[in-house]
Amino acid sequence: MALIDGVSRLLIDGKLTPGGAGGFATVNPATEEVLGEAANADGADMDRAIDAARRAFDDTDWSTNTELRVRCVRQLRDVLGEHLEELRELTISEVGAPRMLTAGAQLEGPIADLGFAADTAERYEWTQDLGQAAPLGIPTRRSVVREAVGVVGAITPWNFPHQINLAKLGPALAAGNTMVLKPAPDTPWVAAVIGELIAEHTDIPPGVVNIVTSTDHALGAMLAKDPRVDMVSFTGSTATGRSVMADAAATVKKVFLELGGKSAFVVLDDADLAAACSVAGFSVCLHAGQGCAITTRLVVPRARYDEAVAIAAGTMGSIKPGDPTKPGTVCGPVISARQRDRVQSYLDLALAEGGEFACGGGRPADQPAGFFIEPTVIAGLTNEARVAREEIFGPVLTVIAHDGDDDAVRIANDSPYGLSATVYGADADRAAGVAARLRAGTVNVNGGVWYSADMPFGGYKQSGIGREMGVAGFEEYLETKAIATAAN
C-alpha cells in the first residue's frame, strides 16, 4: 500500500485514476501540516463512476454469484488486516483519531466486521418457500425472494471514516449491490487507500466498487439525484440528510439515513453518582466528542446537581487534549479549523444563554498548533437552551437537572433526535424500565455496550431512517420480490 508521491487516486471501473479537477490538500488536524494531496473528482468522474457501477450490476453475475461476493468481501477484510499498521498511522494522522481508538471502532473493529457481512450473505435465506395456497380459488405455489437493490451511492463523513465506509461497503457488496462511495473531503486518503487495495489485491470485479474523492459537495447530490442509482446511503448531519432525501425523491429511490444526535445520559437518584458522572465525562472526551451517538446531555437528580457538575468537571478537566499518536491520549483534535470555530461558537453561545463553565471553555493554552478544544462542562442551563438541543460535535457536556424518573424521561425525549441514550441506576429493573421509555435507537444501561457487528445501529425521529450493522443493516441493501406460480 503506497500513495504515489503523496497523492491518492480515484477508483473508477477498476482503474486508479487522477481527478478531473486536479487535487486538493489533506491536513493533519493535530499539527495543521499538509500530509499530501488527494484526487479531486469532477462531475465527469462521478458520471463515469455511476456508469461503471450500473454496468457492473446489469451486465455481470455479481448480484447473483453469492460465492464470489463472499470470497471478495473476505479478501477485502484480509488485505486490510495485512496493512493494518500502515492504515493505523494514516488514520491517526489524517483523522486525528487517538491511537487507542484504532484498536476499536476507528479501525480494527470495522475491518473485522467485514467478516460478519460475508458470513451473513453465506448463510442467508435468499428464497423463502411459503408453500401452496389457493388465493381467489387458484392453486398457487408461492415464494419470497430477497435480492440486491442495485447501484448504491454512499456518502460518508469524517469522524469515524473506516467504521462508516466499511459498514456500508461490507453489507452492500455482500448483498449483491455495486457501489459508488463519496467520502468526506476532510478524510480522503483513508477511503482512497481502500480503493487502491481493492484494485490491486482483491478479485472484486471492475465497476463493482468506485471511490470518488472530491471537495465538490454537488457530487453527493449527483448520486442522490441520478436515476442510474437505486439507493443512497448517507451518514452525516440531519440538515444534509434532509437535502439528500429531497434530492432522492425525484427518482423515488431507496434512502438510508444515519444522522445527528443529542443523546442523554440519565442518572437516576439511586445510582452511584460518582461512577456515572465520571463515565459521562470520560465518554464525551473520546475522539474530542466527534461521535453522533455520544451522550452529550448529562441529566441528573436536582438535589445532587452541584455534586454531579463537580464530578463531571473533575473528570473532564483532568483529560488534556493532545497528540493522538501517543498511546494515552483520549481527546485529540477536532477535524478542522472550521469545526473548532463551530464548537467555540457554541461555547460562546452557552455563556450568552446564561450558562457557566465548570471546566474548559476554549482552546488549550499549551497547544499552539492543531485544532484542539478543551473538554468543557456547561452548567446552569435547562433543556431549552440551544447548547442542550443542537449537535455540537465537540468535547462538550451540558448538565441538566431532573425531578425524578418521569421528568428525566421527559427531558431525554424532549429532543428532535433519538439516536442513543444511557441510563445508570442501582435497581436494574427500574433502570430497564426507564430505558424502555426512551425514544432512542440504542440504549446503554449501566455500562452495557451496544456497538457490535451483529447489533443494528440507527435512530428514531430526526436521527435517521433505517439501521446499519446487524442483519437489519444487511437487509437495508435488499429488495423483496414475491413470486406466485400457478400450480396446475
- Which residue's C-alpha cell is 421528568? 407
Q: What is the dihedral of CA 278, 279, 285, 290, to 10 degrees?
A: -150
What cell was used for 29?
488536524
Q: Which one is catalytic: 258, 374, 468, 476?
A: 258
Backbone φ, ψ for residue 399 (5° rounding): -100, 125
CA distance 437 to 444: 13
- Cα–Cα nearest to 301, from 336, 329, 277, 331: 277
Decide if 196 is catalytic: no
Residue-wise over 421-456: b if at least 16 C-beta within 10 A, else e? bbbbbeeeeebeebbeebbbbbbbbbeeeeeebeeb
CA distance 448 to 487: 52
- Residues acting as catalytic residues: 258
